[in-house]
Amino acid sequence: MFWFLIRRLFLVIPTLVGVAIAVFFLIRVMPGDVVVVKLRADGAAVSEEAIQAERKRLGLDKPLYEQFVDYMVGLPRLDLGKSLWTGEPVIKEIGLRMPVSIQIAVMAGVIAVLIAIPLGTISALYRDSWIDHSVRVVAVSGLAIPSFWLGMLIILGLLSLFNWLPKIGYVPFWQDPITNLSVTIWPAASVGYRYAAVATRMMRSSLLEVMREDYIRTARAKGVWTRLIMRRHALRNALLPVVTVIGLEFAFLIGGLVVTEQVFNINGIGKLFVDATARGDFNLIQGLVLLIATIFVLVNLAVDLLYGWLDPRIRLS
């Protein structure tokens, strides 16, 4: 297990470097000029000198390779440049907004897992019954409802039922857990629904597949209790693909959060990203995209490790 872990960790480094390179070029090589877009955003006429001056100020007049070297040298020191809008270091801007977004994302993940595994199992066990059908309808709707609209419906429901809205503003959990949860639970539920839907579908189909395996039939033939078969043989194997989906979808959860944070007025990385995009603050955009891609890579690393732990065959191969 130790060597498996080390090997996996080393494999992450080239991927992260690749992501960093991709982000750099994505922003600079695409046709279009950020400076022009930024300055002419309101349709105002801007002189060529002003554009050149702004380029110089941002260090965009340097040759591409020089910019690239600066950028890559800065990365290991977490130097992502300064926000073009506030002038604060990008890492500080992101750091301020990270906790609330991460908390919501993790809560959504926990909600999804807590719902998906039992629901998917029940759905598979009572296949083609009314329970199964209703679970599937709920799951399919989860894929179609935009999370931001679900958030709006939740607000609408809270207002019309209780005439109450969650407070605006984030309080760290250890300061005031109740206020903290009353703010974060709603966006977590909005983005968690889709997550739960995807995981439920996967849990159902993977359990159905596992139940057809020979070793389940053998266990049945030996007269093992159904409950024991489920716990010891079926569920553990069925969980593998579900773990994969949960890992893959985590990044998309953050994508959903980008939009949903707007609905609940939460000042997290999603809102920061939207503001940065609207203002053409590309240093900030670069930092945020890098952060999100890194989270994706690390979550997938965690999934790989979990996989190795759940299924010894993978560790050995």
- Tokens for 314, please give them: 């993978």
Residue of 287, 288, 198, 210 whose CA lies nearest to 247:
198
Cβ-based nearer residue to another protein, 9 or 165: 165
Residue of 179, 85, 211 whose CA lies nearest to 93:
85
Q: Is 297 in the site for another protein (CB under 8 A)?
A: yes
* x/- map, 151-170, another protein, by CB under 8 A: -xx-xx--xx----x-----
Q: What residue type is 237 in one-letter code?
A: N
Q: Is 242 in the site for another protein (CB under 8 A)?
A: no
Q: Is 289 in the site for another protein (CB under 8 A)?
A: yes
Cβ-based nearer residue to another protein, 248 or 310: 248
* x/- map, 96-135, another protein, by CB under 8 A: ----------------------------------------
Q: Is 50 in the site for another protein (CB under 8 A)?
A: no
Question: Going by C-beta distance under 8 Å and a sequence separation of 6 or more, which residues neighbour residue 237?
Answer: 210, 213
Considering only CA atoms, give the Rg of the chain.
Answer: 24
**Residue 270, CA distances (Å) to 66, 181, 189, 258, 273 in order:** 30, 19, 16, 4, 5
Question: Going by C-beta distance under 8 Å and a sequence separation of 6 or more, which residues neighbour residue 298?
Answer: 12
Q: Which residues bind another protein (CB under 8 A)?
A: 15, 18-19, 22, 26-27, 30-32, 34, 36-37, 40-41, 140-141, 143-146, 148-149, 152-153, 155-156, 159-160, 165, 205, 251-252, 254-256, 258-259, 262, 273-274, 276-278, 280, 282, 285, 288-289, 292-293, 296-297
